[in-house]
Homo-oligomer: A and B are copies of this chain.
Amino acid sequence: RSHEHCKLEEGCEKGLEQARQGLAGDETVKDGVTLYLLQSVDQLLLSATKERIDFLPHYDTLVKSGMYEYYASEGQNPLPFALAELIDNSLSATSRNVAIRRIQIKLLFDETQGKPAVAVMDNGRGMTSKQLNNWAVYRLSKFTRQGDFERRKVCAAGLFDTCTATQPLWDPFLCPCAVGCGVMTGEVEHWMIWPVLNSRFGPFCVSPVGTFKSDHSGYVRPVPVPRSLNSDISYFGVGGKQAVFFVGQSARMISKPADSQDVHELMLSKEDFEKKEKNKEAIYSGYIRNRKPSDSVHITNDDERFLHNLILEEKEKDSFTAVVITGVQPEHIQYLKNYFHLWTRQLAHIYHYYIHGPKGNEIHTSKEVGPFNNIDIEISMFEKGKAPKIVNLREIQDDMQTLYINTASDSFEFKAHVEGDGVVEGIIRYHPFLYDKETYPDDPCFPSRLKDDDDDDDCFILEKAARGKRPIFECFWNGRLIPYTSVEDFDWCTPPKKRGLAPIECYNRISGALFTNDKFQVSTNKLTFMDLELKLKDKNTLFTRILNGQEPQALYDEIKTVPIAKLDRTVAEKAVKKYVEDEMARLPD
């Protein structure tokens, strides 16, 4: 289309726009009447008109994004789950750290240092200014954004950065550590297994440059790892924004990638949005400041004077990200101060397997730093005139998973294969009745009501013993707890209708955990699964028992697993018996 034509159209649109704004302004033309702007006096009136409109999302999209998503439907304060979103981001960002992965949550509540603030810092890969810009784009996720990913190195288990292999191998079982590398090409997910070698640090691998002609994005799906601890917990492009605006009124993002000389800084605040709206400025525009590390001359506001120290620390860091939330809601400050023990324990629970590794917090494991306990999540709270409270989540010994693991007398592992690549690992633990007492751990957040009842032993009490009404399974997605979804039970672990071999009370002494990969969907706030129970209870889902870390197929070649749906249920018992007898008869003595 010609430039001329284009200009004409533009002029026309502007006219329409002005007319429309005039409508709203002086109201001489009432709503409900369509105003026809004629180009010339003799122009024919069209029977229908097209009116150009704009419908930019309101800035509440960002500012209130956290408000109604972090609901407290279960009577819990959702604040720990907002903090978890920021930890998720730091876990993703540090996934390729070779040395320790350090994540710090600092509660800066010392008024002599400025107004209350919450800072979440990590020594991860940091963000370029382009990536920092992308951070602020609501709903821009790794699946939709372009060129913001490294397209060369993909490391198994997301743990390491050194990639040396040269030849692709197509057999996943040749991989010495049962991990491979995944590559997503185009629209269809297509898996290729690349050679995996061992190094001092653990498994790593490489996929050759140029494989990614995907128009989708450079996103590379993580390789399967035990308990799906792949650190790939960024999904929707909303978590960080929801979290900061749930906690407070403004966020300063400070970040530096390793190969940059500069630190990039971006501030988003509710106040700023309101000002831009009032002044009719572009709502979704702002500035990134590029500055030298440790340069804090731009911090002139006394409320944020704690930032000078924080920024000074930058000198020692190669790459990092710091999220500094100010305008913290007063009720959050109260909660963070008064329930320090409670919410730190909750975080220890959410990230239990990231902190302790796939086997969890077993008492008798060596405490050497390995690929599975190089994640330090440290919480510190600073108050005026008090010694700072500091805790590393790994030290916490009373989170629910630790309690389950340490009271279990036995456990049983299984795996469920769901149609469409969904894999769920599961564990069931048994907590016996020992020395006159249930050993099933009580949930400090939901203590069983009849805990201290000792004189009553009728039916109503029995059903509340041990696990009580709680469901059996807690559910983890990509290794982290999805706190509001639980699975009550499976057919094979509910009390039978007729009394069976085990006393009926035993069924209430079981706890369990499920670990899914990212083939299951969670809601954007990561509080609930969307489809876990539906998929698990699908007739084509295949459960197998895991013995010594392996599925039966690998242990006993001759065992065949047949999906329940494919069994012929119409066959009479007699026919089965006869078949078995016939087969037995054929066997050599």
Contact = CB atoms under 8 A, between A and B. Distances in A.
Pairs A-B, 4 closest by C-beta atoms: A32-B260, A55-B136, A71-B530, A48-B291
A289 B50 contact: yes
A281 B458 CA distance: 71
Interface stretch (A93-101, A140-148, A541-549): A140-148
Give the oligomeric copy count. 2
Interface stretch (A61-69, A104-112, A194-202, A381-389): A61-69
Interface stretch (A126-134, A180-188, A338-346): A126-134
Interface string A447-491: 001100100101110110000010000000000000011000000
A336 B494 CA distance: 32
Contacts of A47: 291-292, 295
A588 B343 CA distance: 59
Contact of A34 (B20, B290, B460): B290
A360 to B, nearest CB: 25
A255 B387 CA distance: 63
Contact of A68 (B140, B498, B524): B524
Contact of A460 (B52, B72, B495): B495
A61 B57 contact: yes
A524 B71 CA distance: 10
A54 B288 contact: no
Contacts of A60: 139-141, 144, 237
Interface string A513-553: 00000000111100011110110010000000000000000
A330 interface: no
B289 A257 contact: no
B58 A139 contact: yes
Nearest to A287: B50
A563 interface: no
Contacts of A31: 128-130, 257, 259-260
Contact of A133 (B53, B130, B458): B53
A6 to B, nearest CB: 13
Contacts of A564: none
Interface in A254-296: 257, 259-262, 266, 282, 284-292, 295
A366 interface: no
A33 interface: yes
A208 B525 CA distance: 44
B128 A32 contact: yes
A51 interface: yes
A533 B75 contact: yes
Nearest to A482: B73
8 contacts: A32-B128, A32-B259, A32-B260, A48-B297, A52-B286, A52-B287, A57-B138, A69-B523
Contact of A529 (B55, B56, B73, B456): B73
Nearest to A257: B32
B48 A298 contact: yes
A471 B42 CA distance: 72
Contact of A285 (B52, B57, B237): B52
A437 interface: no
